[in-house]
């Protein structure tokens, strides 16, 4: 039986996943978490075969939580789930250590297939996402600037957008404030912005905040 930990800040969505997996004989939702700290606490106290986690959550984003999960001993594979299009976050999620990425508008049968595949040691990406990632890795990258940030730059960008201070970000990511500032300067240069206010405006225009 594949024991799944569902991490999503929407109760209705978590309930929907639980009902969906009730029809599958080889998997079930073993536990639910509505945010990163809850997920980390559960992972430190119980064993799971797979973590199904949303990228866009209140507080710490799924990508930030993914980084923390990767530091847990015997970390289960993580399948990222998001309403964002694959071209925006699939590569970032995989580079961050996720074993797969699937859109929230995928068919239920595709989600079940992805869970089964990742839990059994494989990787899951849709054919479209796999092609895009291959193109991006081979240098044929036509994505907008924010999609070409490194995983760490992307994480710091999301924290800056939330209004977190550099010292807070450093404590969260266990790096120095000086290192945070270096990443901040690099990502702002890549995005063509010169202040946090311009960064927030960029995020709004590109659908990075809701």
Do 20 and 90 lie in a common domain?
Answer: yes
Instruction: Return the pLDDT at 210.
Output: 59
CA distances from 132 to 80, 124, 127, 178 (A): 17, 14, 9, 34
Do 7 and 103 lie in a common domain?
Answer: yes
User: 210 in a domain, yes or no?
Assistant: no
Do 82 and 176 lie in a common domain?
Answer: no
Do 19 and 61 lie in a common domain?
Answer: yes
CATH number at residue 153: 1.10.10.10
Summary mean pLDDT of the chain: 88
Task: Choose between 115 and 57: higher pLDDT.
Answer: 115
Q: How far apart are CA 170 and CA 204, in angstroms?
A: 24
Looking at 137, 157, 178, which one is the last position of a domain?
Answer: 137
Q: Encoding tokens for residue 142?
A: 């036509």
Per-residue pLDDT tens digits for 144-191: 788 778 778 888 998 899 899 999 988 877 788 999 999 999 999 999
Average pLDDT over residues 202-206: 90
Per-residue pLDDT tens digits for 63-114: 888 888 888 877 899 999 988 767 777 888 888 899 999 988 889 999 999 9
Q: Tally the domains of the chain.
A: 2
Do 36 and 118 lie in a common domain?
Answer: yes
CATH number at residue 121: 3.40.50.2300
Q: How far apart are CA 63 and CA 203, in angstroms?
A: 16
Question: Confidence band (pLDDT; 50, 70, 90) for 126?
Answer: confident
Do 20 and 114 lie in a common domain?
Answer: yes
Instruction: Return the pLDDT at 119.
Output: 96
**At residue 25, does pLDDT exceed 90?**
yes
Q: How far apart are CA 46 and CA 75, in angstroms?
A: 11
* Tally of CB atoms within 10 A around 41: 11
Domain that holds residue 35: 2-137
Instruction: Return the pLDDT at 75.
Output: 86
Question: Confidence band (pLDDT; 50, 70, 90) for 43?
Answer: very high
Kind and range of the H or E element at 65?
helix 62-69
Question: Confidence band (pLDDT; 50, 70, 90) for 10?
Answer: very high
Do 55 and 110 lie in a common domain?
Answer: yes
**At residue 197, does pLDDT exceed 80?**
yes
Do 93 and 153 lie in a common domain?
Answer: no
Tell the residue number behind the tokens 């990228």, with chain if given.
55
Burial bucket for residue 44 (CB in 10 Å: 0-12, 13-18, 19+)? exposed
Looking at 119, 137, 155, which one is the last position of a domain?
Answer: 137
pTM (2 decimals)? 0.73
Looking at 137, 155, 179, which one is the last position of a domain?
Answer: 137
Instruction: Return the pLDDT at 145.
Output: 84
Do 155 and 200 lie in a common domain?
Answer: yes
Do 25 and 116 lie in a common domain?
Answer: yes
């Amino acid at each position: 039986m594949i024991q799944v930990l569902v991490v999503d800040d929407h109760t209705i969505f978590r309930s929907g996943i639980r009902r969906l997996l009730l029809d599958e004989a080889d998997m079930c939702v073993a536990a639910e978490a509505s945010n990163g700290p809850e997920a980390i606490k559960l992972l430190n106290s119980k064993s799971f075969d797979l973590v199904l986690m949303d990228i866009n959550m209140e507080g710490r984003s799924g990508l930030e939580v993914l980084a923390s999960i990767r530091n847990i001993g015997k970390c289960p594979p993580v399948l990222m789930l998001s309403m964002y299009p694959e071209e925006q976050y699939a590569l970032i999620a995989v580079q961050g250590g996720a074993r797969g990425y699937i859109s929230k508008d995928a068919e239920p049968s595709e989600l079940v297939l992805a869970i089964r595949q990742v839990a059994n040691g494989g990787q899951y990406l849709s054919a479209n996402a796999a092609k895009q990632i291959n193109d991006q890795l081979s240098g044929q990258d036509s994505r907008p600037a924010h999609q070409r940030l490194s995983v760490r730059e992307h994480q710091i960008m999301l924290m800056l957008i939330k209004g977190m201070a550099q010292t807070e970000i450093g404590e969260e990511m266990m790096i120095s404030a000086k290192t945070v500032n270096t990443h901040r300067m690099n990502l702002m240069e890549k995005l063509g912005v010169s202040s946090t206010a311009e960064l927030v405006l960029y995020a709004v225009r590109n659908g990075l905040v809701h």
